[in-house]
Amino acid sequence: MNRKAFAVTFLGTIALSLILRVPRLDLRPMHHDEANQAVKFGRLLEHGDYRYDREDHHGPSLYYLSLPFAWLRGEASLAELDETTLRWVPAAFGAALLLLLLPVRKELGSDALLLAGSFAAVSPVLVFFSRFYIQETLLVFFILGTLVAGWRFVRTPKAIWAVFFGIFAGMAYATKETSLIAFAALAGAWVLNRFVFHEERDRAGEVLRPTRAHLALCAGSALAVIVVLFSSFFRHLRGPLDSVLAFGTYFARAGDPGWHAHPWYYYLKMLAFSRYEHGPVWTEGAVLLLAGVGAAAALGAGKRRQRALGPETRAFLRFVAFYTLLSTLAYSLIRYKTPWNLLPFYLGMVILAGGGAAFLLRAARKRWLRAVVICLLVGSLGHLVFQSRRANLQYHADPRNPYVYAQTSTDFLRLVQRVQDLVPLHEDGRALLVKVVADPYTTWPLPWYVRGFPNVGYWQEAAEAGGFEGVPLVVASPDQMDALAPLLGDRYQVEFYGLRPEVPMALCIESGLWEAFLETRRRIP
């Protein structure tokens, strides 16, 4: 493939990636994890300050990288932010994944690179979480950067690759603490390649070794990124230490996952075949099968495999195969599981799938056989595109979508709309007093949706919330309604809305405000 054809095809793949990720970013209600991250970013946006929390929220990269997107849209406060601005961040990094494959074009080959990029562009799970304002898509981006820069560094030890390796590794760590799983898998893959297949040798058979200066550059650039971001640009110097102490919190969660506990095959089953409550079938089986082909072609010893892929491609795919195997094992054995945690190892499967598809095309020497392979690949990509659109535009908040996990119900938006309808009817407008009585898990994502209301208070118990005389709106979890009943008396109209599956939320409206609302409805012809 000549440069012009490659460039056009590659840009078309990026365009397809954006087409699937960007439209209607505000369609899905904010997940409670998204809302939590958004409110924390709002504090950074408004006050220019950030403090790492070793108990929650993960690393600082998501917040600092969100700043340019908010500035470009002219948003300077939490109240001005919207879902589109925030979700543009993971969407942009999800599409930019493809750019990180360019440095290994020589190893993969143009066809394998474009095929891997195509799978990454249209994969339903990658697209879905590229529209999700949490750390995972950024983590995958920086892990891929670490993988590619690390490969270039060990194959051709140069200062530039040492620096890039350190920067990407530092950014991955500054994104999420679980990046250490990926680092361990990458180190294990390097050891297997080095001592089993002896890959780190030049053409003369000499072992390639980075110099101490290269290693110092790598460690220094990684440490610089970590210290700068975790210390909030040297405003909170304890941040880097807290990032280390945070491992106690996350080890505890891994050992006591609560309702996040799932069997070891949870991720693989989700990718291979999912169907819930007579809903549609979801599968990324084509990627799994082609990843298996790519791994077998890279690890096998047959001459046909060697002719089809070439030594450089086989060496790189072996490295990716070892990384994928080790990271898949690690994430599968950890009992704490959420759908987005599969992304770091699924990244390796996507690259292997590109290599496997390229192997099939190169191995099919007869035209009719190659035509069959091409038709199957086009059909597989088309099916993935169809599933991506269905997952994000039709089943975006439906529990029958395997990637929807503790998702805020669309019914909750009716509660938000009811509050918006009541605001003009109260003399204080948006400054009206709202008391929220619920535990933190049930409270979110409400703080995001009332971010423009200055007088909203939060309590976990009804007894702590004080008096309710003259309070126009009370939002409460059902477990607090018995305690609230004698405090509210018969002065409130109570409505119930779905917050999440099997998690309702009560909206209590003061009777005078309720009557004013009913009057507006009576005037509607």
pLDDT, position 98: 95
Distance CA 68, CA 65 (A): 7
Domain boundaries along the sequence of the chain: 3-394, 412-522
pLDDT, position 199: 57
Taking 70 as the threshold, does the pLDDT of residue 330 lie above it? Answer: yes
pLDDT, position 470: 87
Rg of the chain, C-alpha, whole Å: 26
Q: Label residue 449 by pLDDT band (50, 70, 90).
A: very high
Q: Is the pLDDT higher at 343 or at 525?
A: 343
- Residue given tokens 């009716």 in the structure block: 414
pLDDT, position 170: 97
251 burial class (0-12, 13-18, 19+ CB within 10 angstroms)?
A: exposed
**Backbone torsion region of residue 426, taken as left when φ is above 0, otherwise alpha when ψ lies between -120 and 50, otherwise beta:** beta
> Distances from the Cα of 156 to the Cαs of 115, 162, 201, 210, 246, in angstroms?
25, 10, 10, 8, 35
- The string of pLDDT tens digits covering residues 182-207 is 999 999 999 988 877 765 554 444 45
In this structure, whether the domain defined by 412-522 belongs to CATH 3.40.1000 is answered with: no
DSSP assignment string, 346-392: HHHHHHHHHHHHHHHHHH--SHHHHHHHHHHHHHHHHHHHHHHHIII
- Lowest mean per-residue pLDDT among 130-134, 204-208, 356-360, 447-451: 204-208
Q: Retrieve residue 278's tokens.
A: 């007579």
Mean pLDDT of 472-498: 93
Among residues 513, 429, 510, 439, the alpha carbon closest in space to that of 476 is found at 439
Distance CA 469, CA 467 (A): 6
In sequence order, the 6+-apart residues with CB closer than 8 A to the CB of 483 are 461, 462, 463
- Lowest mean per-residue pLDDT among 187-201, 265-279, 359-373, 394-408: 187-201
pLDDT, position 255: 76
Q: What share of the chain is helix, strand, coil (3-state, %, to 5)?
A: 65, 5, 30
Mean pLDDT of 70-89: 96
Beta bridge pairs of residue 494 = 508
**Whole-model pTM over 0.85:** yes
pLDDT, position 258: 79
Among residues 284, 285, 294, the alpha carbon closest in space to that of 351 is found at 294
- Cis ω on the peptide bond leading into residue 445 (within 30° of 0)? yes
pLDDT, position 208: 61
Q: Is 274 helix (H, G, I), strand (E, B) or coil?
A: strand
Distance CA 79, CA 68 (A): 17
- The string of pLDDT tens digits covering residues 221-275 is 999 999 999 999 999 999 999 999 998 888 888 777 877 889 999 999 999 999 9
Mean pLDDT of 27-34: 96
Q: Label residue 493 by pLDDT band (50, 70, 90).
A: very high
What does pLDDT average to over the chain?
92
pLDDT, position 17: 97
Taking 90 as the threshold, does the pLDDT of residue 371 lie above it? Answer: yes
pLDDT, position 204: 43
The sign one gets for the Cα dihedral 420, 435, 508, 83 is positive
If residue 39 lies in a helix (H) or strand (E), which one and from where to where? helix 32-47
Q: Label residue 312 by pLDDT band (50, 70, 90).
A: confident
